[in-house]
Structure 1
Amino acid sequence: MIAFYGLIVISRNFKRNKFLNTFNNKVTNKDLPILDILVAARDEENVIERLVERLFNLEYPSNKLNIYIIDDGSSDKTPLILDRLSRQFENLKVVSRSPNAGGGKSGALNYALKFTHGEWILVLDADAQLKKDSLIRLFSFVEEGDWPSVQLRKSVTNVSKNFLTSCQSMEMAMDAIFQYGRLSVCGVSELRGNGQLIKKDTLLACGSFNEDTVTDDLDLSLRLLLSNSRIGILWDPPVMEEAVENLNALLSQRQRWAEGGLQRFFDYGDQLFTNKIDFLKKFDLTYFFILQYALPIISIFDLVLSIALLDSPIYWPISFTAFILSGIAFWYGSSCKSEVPVLQKRNFFMIFLSVFYLSHWFIVIPWVTVKMSIFPKKILWRKTLHTGV
């Protein structure tokens, strides 16, 4: 069953017209909506000026584009840079919060949301990079599919920096493959924080951004699903970002993702088994919950028990199947045509290394589960260092 459903999800990518950057109708300037771009920034002096300059170089009517940068208690030169840029760019709105305002990134986004007047909200990270025509093509995709929200495929700018960045590049491509497959099979897909577009009315109807979670994107994705609101997945153009470059940063980032990913099931688990969503969506959520969260815990327990009893692990076939499915998605994701930055070229050795790289989740998930069981919930914005290189 695990292999069968996983292969169905991956195979749905073989014919995905709207997954490519081809649209039957390109939206005209007069039909483009008013767009508010939100960027929550804390200590982003390395990248914030580059971000603002590139955002104002995007192809979009200036009278329909507003950019809100939330300086969330920065202690570096970010406030000074933003003050200078606000005098240079008329449509740049700088919103400031104190360091102890609370709510993390979600709190910063909610605070800025009160000042927005547009029909759509695009959330970006401070290190985000977009192609000049990204917004036009994004709304052409929205128009064609009547999507209330869309997630751009995430890609890595520093893919050739080292082994970890190369693996993260392939991991993001793999994630997009699974995302589109799940959307095609049963209508389940998720936001990824950076490069997420959502209609403002849809966001407000779901209660805005949850300030009691460390992963606002995953939390919002589940609330959108419960309200039967679809999330489109767009392969090209991608949103580009920096991958973390060392193991400590990777593990810190993944702990946050794991904690937020698990927390949403605790918060909304009782609603997932009501009539709010259909059987196929329930099956998909259960399937990927087992693969992403339950399997690492079971596998570690199984390994420890087998060592203690000097016996073979019992559940290794399930883990092996999960790694094989990931390998297939890695292979297919890296073989797809993609716009810059170019994906890692596929070869057996790199696929093997990338699958091995995924084993870090078998350490992170059990550790986070134990930590969440023992320690009280604490919301901290553990920001990722952006170098601007």
Structure 2
Amino acid sequence: MNPIACWEGGRRRKAGLFAATSLLLGLLPHWLHGGPWPAVVAALLLGRHIFPTAGRQPGSKPSSPQAPSDAARLPQVDVLVAAKNEAAVIEQLVNNLLALRHGEEQLQLWFVDDGSVDGTGEILDRLQERHPGLHVIHRPPGAQGWKSGALNAVLPHLRGEWVLVLDADAQVDPELLERLTPLLQDSSRALQLRKAVHNADCNLLTRVQAVEMAADALIQQGRIMHQGCGELRGNGQFVPRQALLHCGGFNEATVTDDLDLTMRLQLHGVPVAVVWNPPVGEEAVGSIGALWRQHQRWAEGGLQRFFDYWPALLSSRLKPRLKRDVLAFFLLQYVQPLVMAGDAVGAVVWRSAPLAWPLTTMTLLFTLTALWRCPTANSGPPVPVIRGVTVLMTLVYVLHWSLVIPMATVRMALKPKQQAWDKTVHEGWAAGA
């Protein structure tokens, strides 16, 4: 299932080596009684690559090869949803997808009840009786592979040109497929829809998540425009079926199927384009505890893909520009938080001032640049107005990754691989909106 994971196994050893090396980089300037100059140089070099990616203004088309002008042919699309204990939102999603404007022969809906115990399977069976175009597959409780295993259970049944993967809390425009038909003529790359939060007004935490997702899509488009790597985000991802099969399907050994698939697609020469409009709506988590668990899983899966694929990522399979982009964002997202943690420890042990502050400053300025250039006039769920307190709280929110990444890395180094899927619980706020 995963033929290009060149360095599988030894998860704890690789995580321990990565953590020790990164922490040491933060400790060394204190041990050598140096100044912040190494961090200044690192911030300048890293910022030189990443700042241009925050400058793209989203338009109606993604940064991808031009789609053919003839949009008359309706592509065949299989919609895949893996649902585990999603009784609060599943019927709303089914009704939303049944409203999609697309020919019946060109659209098939596939739902996998992944061992649910809350009535999700019964709801899907009832809806299947009323709607022949809805196909339901049941997996027993404890089935292997988590979400990836559920999605793989459907692959042998698919016949469409494209596979659209949605989360159970997703909501899409009824005209989604009509609007994307010109782009779906080109199956040489995958598409990722911008994720838009439909419960942003719930509380401050959901609001900053909505802003974060908009800024993420902006940066993704900027990376692509500068010949970098676009990434799948799990919900709202269109993947050519043949490319997916060629990559071996979904990796059942990962907790982040989207990030893992991104790496394998890139290594097979299939880039990812990001579509700003139309977006896919989803539900942001509404509590600190749920956010922490979700982001710990994202951090673990994000690191695991680099541990598994780094020999291939350094090979000639990636173009030099793409390779530099992957390296730059690996340093920004995973190495820098551990360096900052090592710097904090060094400041305490040697009773000196922190020396990694240039890297922190660069990260905050990069985030502020993306927020400043992020448009708020979009289709789909509105992006919160990005000004004043929202900007300040988003910057504070971004800093929580400085805790998430080190703790996830240390846990990976000390504990056996996680054996239970810690899924995000959906409350169904949109249903009452």
Q: TM-score, normalised by structure 2?
A: 0.85
- Equivalent of residue 110 in structure 1, options 152, 166, 191: 152
Aligned pairs (5 A) from 1:338-377: 338-377=378-417
Q: SS in structure 2 opposite 1:234?
A: strand
Indicate yes or no: 2:110 matched with 1:49.
no
CA shift for structure 1 position 34: 1.5
Are positions 1:282 and 2:328 aligned together? no
Q: Which amino acid in the other structure matches residue 52 of structure 2?
A: I
Distance 1:66 1:327 in 2: 42
Matched, 1:225 2:266: yes
**Structure 1 runs (4+) greater than 3 angstroms displaced:** 14-17, 22-26
Name the amino acid aligned to 1:291.
Answer: L
> How do 1:133-282 residues align onto structure 2 when only pairs under 5 Å count?
133-143=175-185, 147-282=188-323
Match of 2:169 among 119, 122, 127: 127
Distance 1:109 1:146 in 2: 20
Residue 24 of structure 1 and its aligned partner are, at CA, apart by 8.3
Task: State the alpha-carbon separation in 2 of the partners of residues 98 and 284 from structure 1.
Answer: 41
Q: Distance in 1 between matches of 2:67 and 2:214?
A: 21
Q: CA deviation at 1:331?
A: 2.2
Residues 206 and 286, structure 2, Cα contact 8 Å, conserved in 1: yes
Task: Compare 349-358 and 67-76 and name the one that shifted more.
Answer: 349-358
Change over 3 Å in CA distance of 1:146–1:65 after alignment to 2? closer
Question: What is the rounded CA distance, in whole Å, between the counterparts of 2:371 and 2:387 in structure 1?
Answer: 10
Contact conserved, 1:226 with 1:272, CA < 8 A, in 2?
A: yes
Higher relative contact order (CA 8 A, sep 6+): 2
* 8 A Cα contact 2:376 2:382, kept in partner: no
Contact 2:211 2:386 in 1 (8 A): no
- Alignment pair present for 1:18 and 2:18: no
Assess, with a 3 A threshold, how the Cα gap between structure 1 residues 14 and 48 changes in structure 2: closer, same or farther. Answer: closer
Bigger Rg, structure 1 or 2: 2
User: 1:237-265: per-residue Cα shift (whole Å, max 9, x none)?
Assistant: 00000000000000000000000000000
Q: CA deviation at 1:226?
A: 0.8
Q: CA deviation at 1:234?
A: 0.2
Q: What is the CA deviation profile of residues 72-109 of structure 1, one whole-angstrom value per residue up to 9, with x for unaligned ones?
A: 00001111111110011111000000112110000000
| Partner Cα distance (1:19, 1:351) in 2 | 26
Matching residue within 104, 113, 126 for 1:84: 126
Deviation, structure 1 residue 19: 3.5
Deviation at 1:71, TM superposition (A): 0.2
Match of 1:7 among 17, 29, 51: 51
CA distance in 2 between counterparts of 1:16 and 1:339 reads: 12
Unpaired runs of 5+ residues, structure 2, are 1-44
1:36-65 deviations in Å (ceiling 9; x for gaps): 100000111111111111101011111211
1:142 touches 1:148 (CA, 8 Å); kept in 2? no
The number of residue pairs the alignment matches comes to 383
Q: Are 2:57 and 2:373, in contact at CA under 8 Å, matched by a contact in 1?
A: no
- 1:306 corresponds in structure 2 to 347
Asked if 2 retains the 8 angstrom alpha-carbon contact of 1:213 and 1:260, the reply is yes
Give, in whole Å, the separation in 1 of the partners of 2:124 and 2:203: 32
Please tell me the residue identity of whatever aligns with 1:348.
G
What is the CA–CA distance in structure 2 between the aligned matches of 1:60 and 1:26, rounded to whole Å?
17
Q: Aligned residues: percent identity?
A: 41
| CA shift for structure 1 position 25 | 4.2
Q: Which amino acid aligns with 2:417?
A: K
User: How many Å apart are 1:385 and its aligned residue?
Assistant: 1.1
Q: Distance in 2 between matches of 1:367 and 1:377?
A: 14
Question: What SS class does the counterpart of residue 74 from structure 1 fall into?
Answer: coil
Q: What is aligned with 1:387?
A: 427
Distance (whole Å) between structure 1 residues aligned to residue 319 and residue 70 of structure 2? 34
Letter in 2 for 1:177: L
| TM-score using structure 1 length | 0.95
The 3-state SS of whatever aligns with 2:229 is coil
TM superposition shift of 1:347: 1.0
